[in-house]
Structure 1
Amino acid sequence: MSKTILIVDDEKDIRTSLTGILEDEGYQVLSAASGADALESVRQDLPDLIMLDIWMPGMDGLETLEKLKALFPLVTVIMISGHGTIETAVRATKLGAFDFIEKPLSLDKVLITVSNALRMKELRVENEELKRVVGNEYELIGTSPAIAELREQIVRVAPTTASVLVTGENGTGKELVARSIHYYSLRSDKPFIAINCAAIPEELIESELFGHEKGAFTGAVAQKKGKFDLADGGTLFLDEIGDMSLKTQAKVLRILQERRFERVGGTRTVTVDVRIIAATNKELETEIRQGRFREDLYYRLNVVPFRVPALRERSQDIPQLVPHFVSQFYRREGREPKVFLPEALESLKHHDWPGNVRELKNIIERILIMSPGRQITPADIPELSPARGAADSPDIRPDSLFVPGTLREAREGFERDFIIQKLEENDWNISRTAEIIELERSNLHRKIKSYGIDVRK
């Protein structure tokens, strides 16, 4: 659809000349001989762009511009004048004009200015749409009491500078909560920097957090800013904080206390203003008792505790989560969305979801890719683990809940089976599997090796 341009000028020759030039370029052109006519025209049909003469009898261009902006704040206006002065141009710009061109009009100048103005308007619309989409990305989906309470906590805490500790099982959406806090905070126009403390080798974590100076170690060929530097003025999200070494914990504690640090290999003190949001799936009180986590750091981080509920605790939100993931998938892939029938949504509610929301999202994407029809039925739902406590499940026996070994052995056994399952789902592609389970590729390689998993398949 071609763009509409309104020309406002009391000189008929100017209106005729500009109309011919712009129509030749494929624009639809309207015209008005006065400011009053222009206001009436805009009320009836809002154009994409207005070219407005300053010197007109009665209501002049500047007064017209002021009224246009009061009625239609987002309208784009280019001012035209045969007697341009710097003062007039400055006033027009302050009133909201996009640009100012002088008579006699240059054909090239007119076309370039019109093109720039329309492109700027498109960028503004795209930016607003991106903000809307980003806002939706950080919204917690669901109406369950647990999510409603969490959403209320976020809105209350976000405008403050208090440190936040987010706890919950893997895949529940702890980073989403952190991003939502940042989005609604007074720091939303500043960086949000995330780092997964479990995914970075111990020997590199300090460099990642604090940066390093040139020559600090082999391979440090230039100065590098760390995550604290990059997050200055904004928010730093420390995911899996429970996996951070005691040595690094001590340095993080110092930054929280003093708001300054030195880069690795450096002596210069760097001052930062960073809000910390930390997350973990571990019981930090237990880690403290076992000497693996600093108690003083825990109390520094746990100013405002947030707990993200597991999906099994909010299964009533699944019918709202599924369309959200479908929309995300097709917005990314650019295809026509498929629709989950109500009975298919209901069947999803009867599963355990040990991988929580992340697992649900992955399953939804798999179904969308593999199902040939436009409507998703219960037959399209892959076989999943039954809900915990399901009385009609023949596979769950009381004695199966009591297995020999320690909690650590049970956890490692589950992790090994989980990695094998995800590798199988991704045709044993390690890079793709690492991306899907949100683990660094090198870390996944180490786990594969330690569990003796044969990837030659």
Structure 2
Amino acid sequence: MRLARRGGADIPPSIRASALVFRDPVSLELQRRLLQFSVSDASVLIVGETGTGKELIARYVHDNSPRAGGPFIAVNCAALPETLVEAELFGYEKGAFTGATENRTGWFEAANGGTIFLDEIGDLPLAFQVKLLRVLQEREVTPVGGRKTRPVDVRIVAATNVNLENAVRAGHFREDLFFRLNVARLDVAPLRARRDDILTLSEHFLHVYSEKTGRQDLSLGKEAIKVLLHYSWPGNIRELENAIHHAVLVAADHVIRPDDLNLSHVALDKTSGSDADTIRHIIHDLIRREGKFSLDDLVHMAIEEAYEIAEHNQIKTAKLLGLSRSQLRTLLKNHRID
């Protein structure tokens, strides 16, 4: 497949590039793993917060795999009623239950020869998980009300925004199913933990929506850029896309200003409370992904990040970290942060 080049990443031209415009080192590492996993037929588990583009990544895996010519079926497991999960995924035969007036193919058979994407797999009922495990092991399904199994040739790509290891420990998710799914794992960092992507994504969305609305003369103003970089983005890429789309629609002239982003609650003249959350999340993600940092390393990174957020203003940095200015100066000196 021919790839288009945008923002430092190779992306298929056939899909939206929302989550695939890469510049941050964290994202470039994700891209490297994507390229490794796509060419195999292994099950893939995508882990990330809501709005980080997990389905787009699943489509990337499919579009760059030997199964690219086959179907890609996306199923939101959280939206399936518990009583209909098995019928929806495996199909059913006429008379299997009230309302089953004809045979119906399930999503697994619909994905035959291609990829089935099981989004929010952590929401599947525990009783159904053992049946899904059997399908992964035997590569065959039995429709509800049927007695004969049907072979299926599908690749499984699953996604979750919950910690499945914790769900296993709590007895909400089967350990054997987790091991089956967790063959090739992709951890998608939240946007606040890959800040070098923010402006790249913003420019991408600005290009997309200005083209659609005929406002190609728009650009991001300096104050709008400051808001974009300092905001914590709890809604991740989806929220950023909506913010830029809104700005394109309402901007009064050629320059997008902070109010145009519909994020006016973010203060421009002081460090917002969300910045503390930003630091916590960055450290959390580093420990979870790497687990090789000393306490001194983490302190250094926290100080450095706070110093950047506060634009090298020592008073703001000290306030953000809960320190006196003299304490901060000592730490800056000890950690050789200029």
- Structure 1 residues 264, 153: CA separation in 2 closer, same or farther (over 3 Å shift)? same
1:180-226 Cα shifts (integer Å, max 9, x gaps): 11111111111111101111111111111111112222222221111
For the Cα contact (< 8 Å) 2:164–2:173, is it kept in 1? yes
144, 155, 158: which one aligns with 2:35: 155
- Report whether the alignment pairs 1:191 with 2:191: no
SS of structure 1 residue aligned to 2:225: helix
- Report whether the alignment pairs 1:177 with 2:57: yes
What is the identity, as a one-letter code, of the residue corresponding to 2:66? L
1:25-80 Cα shifts (integer Å, max 9, x gaps): xxxxxxxxxxxxxxxxxxxxxxxxxxxxxxxxxxxxxxxxxxxxxxxxxxxxxxxx
For the Cα contact (< 8 Å) 2:210–2:248, is it kept in 1? no
1:312-327 pair list within 5 angstroms: 312-327=192-207
Report the equivalent of 2:271: 392
CA distance in 2, matches of 1:159, 1:375: 43
- Structure 1 residues 306, 394: CA separation in 2 closer, same or farther (over 3 Å shift)? closer
Structure 1, unpaired ranges of 5+: 1-130, 402-457
CA distance in 2, matches of 1:214, 1:330: 51
- The TM-score, its normalising length taken from structure 1, stands at 0.54
| Larger gyration radius, structure 1 or structure 2 | 1
- The TM-score, its normalising length taken from structure 2, stands at 0.72
1:220-256 Cα shifts (integer Å, max 9, x gaps): 2221111101111111111001000112111110010
Report the equivalent of 2:290: none
1:83-94 pair list within 5 angstroms: none
In terms of mean alpha carbon deviation, does 135-144 or 154-163 score higher?
Answer: 135-144
Report the equivalent of 1:217: 97
- Report whether the alignment pairs 1:144 with 2:16: no
SS of structure 2 residue aligned to 1:133: coil
CA distance in 1, matches of 2:275, 2:213: 42
Number of residues paired by the alignment?
266
For the Cα contact (< 8 Å) 2:232–2:274, is it kept in 1? no
Report the equivalent of 2:48: 168
- Report whether the alignment pairs 1:337 with 2:216: yes
SS of structure 2 residue aligned to 1:286: helix
CA distance in 1, matches of 2:233, 2:174: 32
For the Cα contact (< 8 Å) 2:47–2:188, is it kept in 1? yes
CA distance in 2, matches of 1:294, 1:395: 36
Which structure carries more relative contact order (alpha carbon 8 Å, separation 6+)?
2
1:338-357 pair list within 5 angstroms: 339-343=218-222, 344-357=224-237
For the Cα contact (< 8 Å) 1:318–1:345, is it kept in 2? no
For the Cα contact (< 8 Å) 2:120–2:158, is it kept in 1? yes
Structure 2, unpaired ranges of 5+: 1-10, 281-338
Report the equivalent of 1:305: 185
What is the identity, as a one-letter code, of the residue corresponding to 2:45? L
1:101-130 Cα shifts (integer Å, max 9, x gaps): xxxxxxxxxxxxxxxxxxxxxxxxxxxxxx
Shift of 1:318: 1.4
